[in-house]
Amino acid sequence: MTNKPIALRRWVLPGALLAVVAGSGLWWALTPQADTGTANTTPQQATEKAAQQSGSTSLAPTAIVAPSAPVAETRTPESLGPNPFAPSLQGTDIDGVLQADDNGQLIVNLEVRDFFDYFLSTAGEVSPETAIGQIQQMARQHLPEPAAQQALALLDQYLAYKQASLEVMQTELDPARQHEPAYQLSALGNALAQLKGLRQQTFAPDAHQAFFGMEEAYSEYTLATLAIQQRADLTDQGKQALVEWHRNQLPGTLKSTEQRLEASAQQHQERVLAVESATSPEAAGQRLTELGLDRQSVDGVVSYLQQQEAFQARFESFRKDLQSSVAGGLVDAEQQQHQEQLLQQHFQDEQEQTWARLKLLDQS
């Protein structure tokens, strides 16, 4: 069994957030979509069908039948085995888990939401009823009765939330203002506030925090940093100081992750600058070594830069020979044939011949 790469947590928003938001829909790029509909069903219809199957109290409730015998397990298994109900789950481990504590009560954490999303993501290749039925079956078979009922009640709430959140997720920007950064930021902030309010209305405080606490903390941090970048009254140093202050307000796990990303981005920029400013491939390699890049990577960069340097020299020779032929008065057909001959002469590798053609077009 191989692990399926676990999707990025919902609280990790893309860096180019506003560029994405400026599209036709405000939320589709920020929230997973695969679990809200089927190929022939609208998102709202799919969610309604799924909630009906699960027994949502807001739609069509169904009785939860407790197991006839005591359940020994306290958590759901790590995989669905070699023959999962949906082809896309083949060779994957289940993302998330339903787990009971020593008192038989459901442990409510982000893993529960991950577990729901793992199964709901198959809607489209299987029916929503099938995906919901799998969650119900797993809960009833592997959890004590109290935990199983709590899990299915949470599932009802989660489906109801997803249905209600579609209206927010599909909010359109004003076409006349959609390219204004300040308007985009305001619209995004309003939508996040609506979602947070909806979550508070739908879930108990512990479930709300477990399912969405990290996501909301990161969303608010992202909004704050984007607002800071739009401030014309701040210097770059002032903006950086305020961003770092907001970063320090993040929960510990998020702060550590963000700090690592920031450090990695700075290191990347330093390495790019080292390559761009170097007077030779060897000088670039020396600077990259000083910046902590491992020997194998340094050797690869130096080798590539040397190849590019050699290619550039051959291209200059090729270009001079081509200019001489143009001065010789060759007609168009002869000129094209001669150009191909020169390409073959100066560049033995087909890929380099392609690069030379592209570079020649750039200079024409």
| DSSP codes joined into one string, 268-320 | HHHHHHHHHH-SSHHHHHHHHHHTT--HHHHHHHHHHHHHHHHHHHHHHHHHH
On the question of pLDDT at 256 being above 60, the answer is yes
**For residue 328, what pLDDT band results from cuts at 50, 70 and 90?**
low
Task: Please state, in angstroms and rounded to a whole number, the distance separating the CA atoms of residues 137 and 79.
Answer: 14
| Assigned token pair, 229 | 């970048």
Q: Which residues contact 342 (CB under 8 A, 6 or more apart)?
A: 318, 321, 322, 325
* pLDDT 10s digits, 114-126: 999 999 999 999 9
Q: Which residues contact 255 (CB under 8 A, 6 or more apart)?
A: 247, 248
Domains of the chain by residue range: 17-175+202-215, 231-275, 281-363
Task: Please state, in angstroms and rounded to a whole number, the distance separating the CA atoms of residues 94 and 246.
Answer: 34
Task: Please state, in angstroms and rounded to a whole number, the distance separating the CA atoms of residues 26 and 332.
Answer: 53
pLDDT, average across residues 212-225: 92
Whole-structure pTM value: 0.59
pLDDT of residue 157: 97
| Assigned token pair, 153 | 């009640």
pLDDT, average across residues 73-82: 91
Q: Which residues contact 245 (CB under 8 A, 6 or more apart)?
A: none
Helix axes 110-120 and 128-142, enclosed angle (nearest 10):
140
Residue closest to 211 by CA, chosen among 178, 269, 162, 170:
162
CA dihedral 157, 163, 164, 170 (to 10 degrees): 150
| Assigned token pair, 289 | 């070594």
pLDDT of residue 69: 43
- Distances from the Cα of 110 to the Cα of 12, 39, 57, 168, 193, angstroms: 14, 28, 23, 22, 20
Residue closest to 18 by CA, chosen among 159, 222, 202:
222
pLDDT of residue 36: 36
Q: Which residues contact 115 (CB under 8 A, 6 or more apart)?
A: 76, 94, 95, 96, 97, 98, 135
Coil, strand or helix at 51: helix
pLDDT of residue 33: 35
Residue closest to 302 by CA, chosen among 323, 324, 320, 283:
283
| Assigned token pair, 189 | 């902030």
pLDDT, average across residues 118-141: 95
pLDDT of residue 210: 96
On the question of pLDDT at 44 being above 80, the answer is no
Most confident by average pLDDT, 28-37, 39-48, 57-66: 39-48
pLDDT of residue 60: 34
Lowest mean pLDDT among 172-186, 211-225, 279-293: 172-186
Look at the chain and count its residues: 364
* pLDDT 10s digits, 143-198: 999 999 999 999 999 999 999 998 887 878 788 888 888 888 898 899 899 999 99
Task: Please state, in angstroms and rounded to a whole number, the distance separating the CA atoms of residues 360 and 120.
Answer: 52
**Beta partners for 126?**
123
